A and B are shown apart, each in its own frame.
Chain A
C-alpha cells in the first residue's frame, strides 16, 4: 500500500513548531532576565 501524503503539511508543521518554540523560549528568557535585573536594581535602591 502506498500512501499519497502531502509532504508540505509535515514540513510546514516542523517549521512552525521550531520558529514559534524558539521565539517563545527566547522571549521567556529575555523577560525573566529583565525582571530579575529590575529586581536587583530595586533591591540596590532600597
Chain B
C-alpha cells in the first residue's frame, strides 16, 4: 500500500502539477507562522527564571535542530525508496533536501553556541550532543559533494549517495540519545511523545515556530525539486536534439 501510494507521484508531470500548486501557499503560511512566533519569542514570552532572556533563543534553535535531524531522516527514507523501489523522484527529493538540511544543521550549531555562552559560560564543548550534531553537518556536506560528483559525471542515478544517505542515518539516534547516554551540559529533551515539561507560554510559541519553519523547509524542498526536474528535462531535450542533428 505504501509503495502503491508512493508510486502515485512517480510521474514527474503529476508531481510538478502538485508542486506548483503547493509551493507558494506553503511558503506564505510558513512565513506568517514564523513571523508571529518569532514576534512572540522576542516581545511576548516572559524571561525564564534561571536563563533570563537568553531562553528566547529556544524559538529559533529547536526548529533548526528538528529540521537538521528531520532533513537527514527524510534523506534516509528517500534513499531507501530509491534503492528498494527505484522510485524516480526519491533521489531527486533526497538531493533537494540536502542543502536546506545542511543549513538548518549549521543554524542549530550557531544558535546553540550563541545560547551556550550566556547559559553555560562557553561557546562550545566537545560533548556527545554538540559533536554528533557537528558530524551531521559534515555528513550533509559529504552527501552534497557525492551527489554533485555523480551528476557531473553523468551518473545522476548512481546508488552511492543513496547508500551514504542510509548509512548516515545511524547518526540520528546518536544525536537524540546522546544527552541520555553521556554526561552533557545540554539539557535532556523537554518534550517527548505526548508530554511536555515546558510552560505553555514557551510550548505553544515553540510549536508554532517549528511548524512555520517546517512549512518553509517544505516549500524550499519543492522549489529545489522543481529546479532539478526542469534542469533534467532541458538537458534531455538538448541531448535528444543534438542526437537528431547528428543523425542528419
**What residues of chain A have their CB less than 8 Å away from a CB belonging to chain B?**
3, 5, 7-8, 10-11, 13-15, 17-19, 21-22, 25-26, 29-30, 32-33, 35-37, 39-40, 42-44, 46
Cβ–Cβ < 8 Å partners of A33 in chain B: 223-224, 226-227, 230
- Given contacts A10-B117, A21-B103, A43 and B27 within 8 Å (CB-CB): no
**B100-A25 in contact (CB<8A):** yes
Partner of A36, one of B64, B103, B216, B231: B231
Structural contact, A32 and B60, CB atoms closer than 8 A: no
Other A-B contacts than A10-B118, A15-B60, A46-B241, 9 sampled, CB-CB below 8 A, are A14-B111, A15-B42, A15-B56, A18-B107, A18-B111, A25-B103, A36-B226, A40-B231, A40-B237
* Cα of A40 to Cα of B54 in the assembled complex, Å: 48
Asked if A26 and B57 sit within 8 Å, CB to CB, the answer is no
With A26-B216, A29-B224, A33-B223 in contact, is A11–B57 under 8 Å at CB? Answer: yes
Q: B64: which A residues are within 8 A, CB to CB?
A: 18
Known contacts A18-B107, A29-B220, A33-B226; is-contact A5 B237 (Cβ 8 Å): no
* Closest Cβ neighbor of B233 among chain A residues: A40
* Alpha-carbon gap, A36 to B38, bound state (A): 33
Of all A-B residue pairs in the complex, the 9 with the closest CB atoms, nearest first, are A36-B230, A7-B53, A29-B223, A36-B227, A18-B60, A40-B230, A7-B54, A40-B234, A43-B234
